[in-house]
Amino acid sequence: MLAELLTAGEVVVLSGAGISTESGIPDYRGPSGASRRHTPMTYQTFVGDPAARRRYWARSYVGWRAMTRAAPNSGHHAVARLQRRGLVAGVVTQNVDGLHQAGGARAVVELHGSLHHVICLSCGDSTSREELDRRLAEANPQFGARATAVNPDGDVELGDAEADGFQVVGCRACDGGVLKPDVVFFGETVPAGRVRECFALVERARLLLVLGSSLTVMSGRRFVLHAAKLGIPVAIVNQGPTRGDKYATLAVDAPLGTALPELVRLVDTRAAAAGSPEPI
């Protein structure tokens, strides 16, 4: 049924943390259970508490190494293949890991930003995370904490004693401004222009395909509500129920690493039967 829905094309994908779990990055609320043990950093705490900000950067410094080792999985590659076939017109991801792009997807809208970039809260200067990582390594030559598991937002669990001695660096462009990952923290607002871009994608879609999101928070669920209001069909593939199920034409409860390659196989089989050429 899902393969049949996709064949009309003009599909917009809305992906969540569940598509990256098989790359070793846990989700907040799904089967990996990250929500039961991890409290994410809020924007208010990051900005207002220098000690908490230092501990965050210590955890993120360790977590960045685990994030850079994460590779796109079969689910990411499946989305890219559907896009190359011309069926997926756009990808909106709630993830900050960059794995859709690494898996070959193009023109991905990163709703919550990207861990691969860092911004200065004082002057707005943007730099790469790789550059910041080199600076942090130079400032903390004796720091030897190791990650046991990475959290969905790219940091890890560390004891306060490990993190309190970590040295944070400031912005080079304005000589000391506070640096922050270019991601939307809890309590922070997604840039309005980015939200408008996502709504516009949904409005042009024939189908909104939700992959690996429980749709618990309004940040992603609003696009499902918007599609339903406009009469645009919604299909959901996720492990476990979602808050968008009642709006869905079809909901598939399955791991994405298994379901999406099978979906691609079915789509390709239908295309071959219709004499459609293979995607590049």
Q: Which residues are known catalytic residues?
A: 112
| Per-residue exposure over 169-200, b if at least 16 CB sit within 10 Å of its own CB, e if not | eebeeeeebbbbbbbbbeebeeeeebbeebee
φ and ψ at 70, to 5 degrees?
-70, 135
In the block, tokens 């609003």 appear at 222
Whole-number CA gyration radius for the chain: 20
Quick one: DSSP state of residue 25? -
- What kind and span of H or E run contains 158? none
Q: Work out whether strand 113-120 and strand 179-183 pair parallel, antiparallel, or are unpaired.
A: antiparallel
Task: Classify 172 in phi/psi space as left (phi over 0), alpha (psi -120 to 50) or beta.
Answer: alpha
> In the Cβ-directed half-sphere of 164, how many Cα atoms lie within 13 Å?
3
Report d(CA 90, CA 79) in Å as an integer. Answer: 10
- What kind and span of H or E run contains 84? helix 74-84
